[in-house]
Amino acid sequence: MSPVDSGSEGTPLRLNFTAELEQLRLQVEMMGVLVDHNLERMREVLRSGDFALAAEALRADDDIDAMNVSLTERCYEVLAREGPVASDLRLVVSVIRMTSELERIGDLALRVVKLAPAHDVLASNPRTFDILQTMADEAVDHFRMALRAWSGADLDLATGLATAPRTMDLHNEQLMQALVGLEGPDAVAVALRTLVAGQALERINDHAAILGARLRYLLTGDPDHLTAEVR
């Protein structure tokens, strides 16, 4: 997605502006990588209940939040100073929306991370614990796909994300069935925590699909892709 398109005639102008837009695009990618690290930590904390790693994830989320604020401010400044239009405007608006999605994904990852003290409870039912880990794998995979699509301005990948079959719904359905069938004195404790983790993972997956839709809007300008929201 080089702003200097091939086939353009004339002298390149507004070089600082062009550089700033490229910086914004790269910063979103960097923020995405930070979120990706935390998703990886989330997956490991879910598997192992590692307290130290959970604390690391909490600290890293502060960096993600700070990056969201600073990138949003940079976007407002570009809007105020440069008056971007057409694909430039779409980029700046997309950056604002992408960073808030990324920040949200970071928060959802923390919901799972914060269940570390309840790891033994979560893991006590092998069936539901197994489904949770499958959901985590799928959410992380989808997020990585979104990140790859963004860094390569890959419309096919973005479209694939936004239109992928909703296998997560299937996992969620299996999880609910398993939870409803739980018995014994720990049933409520297991069900509550598993439900919290399951919902967070499902929503991370939804937000990854929305990242795909945001990118489709940026690349095509088709307003249909503006309306994608988490339902």
Using CA of residue 63, residue 66, residue 68, residue 74, what is the dihedral sign? negative
Write out the binding residues for other proteins, residues 141-180 only, by CB under 8 A: none
Q: What CA–CA distance (Å, rounded) separates 1 from 229?
A: 25
E strand or H helix that includes residue 217: helix 187-220
Binding other proteins by CB under 8 A: which of 18, 100, 174, 199? 18
Q: What is the 3-state secondary structure (H, E, C) of 39-69?
A: HHHHHHHHHHCCHHHHHHHHHHHHHHHHHHH
Q: How many angstroms separate the Cα of 182 from the Cα of each of 121, 172, 191, 198, 201?
A: 13, 15, 8, 16, 21
All residues at 6 or more sequence positions from 29 whose CB lies less than 8 Å from its CB, including other chains: 147, 150, 151
Looking at beta carbons only, is 10 or 165 nearer to other proteins? 10
What's the burial of 4, exposed, middle or buried (CB within 10 Å: 0-12/13-18/19+)?
A: exposed
Tallying the residues shown for the chain, one arrives at 231
Looking at beta carbons only, is 9 or 120 nearer to other proteins? 9
Q: What CA–CA distance (Å, rounded) separates 139 from 106?
A: 12
Binding other proteins by CB under 8 A: which of 22, 29, 50, 88? 88
CB count within 10 Å of CB 150 equals 24
126 binds other proteins (CB under 8 A): no
Write out the binding residues for other proteins, residues 203-222 only, by CB under 8 A: 221-222
Looking at beta carbons only, is 11 or 227 nearer to other proteins? 11
Looking at beta carbons only, is 7 or 165 nearer to other proteins? 7
100 binds other proteins (CB under 8 A): no
10 binds other proteins (CB under 8 A): yes
How many residues line the site for other proteins (CB under 8 A)?
Answer: 23
Binding other proteins by CB under 8 A: which of 41, 43, 74, 90? 90
Please say whether the beta carbons of 91 and 25 come within 8 A: yes
Looking at beta carbons only, is 12 or 126 nearer to other proteins? 12
Binding other proteins by CB under 8 A: which of 31, 36, 54, 84? 84
79 binds other proteins (CB under 8 A): no
Binding other proteins by CB under 8 A: which of 2, 86, 165, 185? 86
227 binds other proteins (CB under 8 A): no
Q: Give the interface segment with other proteins, choosing from 2-10, 98-106, 129-137, 207-215 (CB under 8 A).
A: 2-10
For residue 157 the two structure tokens come to 């990948």
- Closest distance of CB 97 from other proteins, Å: 15
Q: How many CA atoms, within 13 angstroms, populate the side-chain half-sphere of residue 81?
A: 11
Q: Which residues bind other proteins (CB under 8 A)?
A: 3-5, 7-14, 17-18, 83-90, 221-222
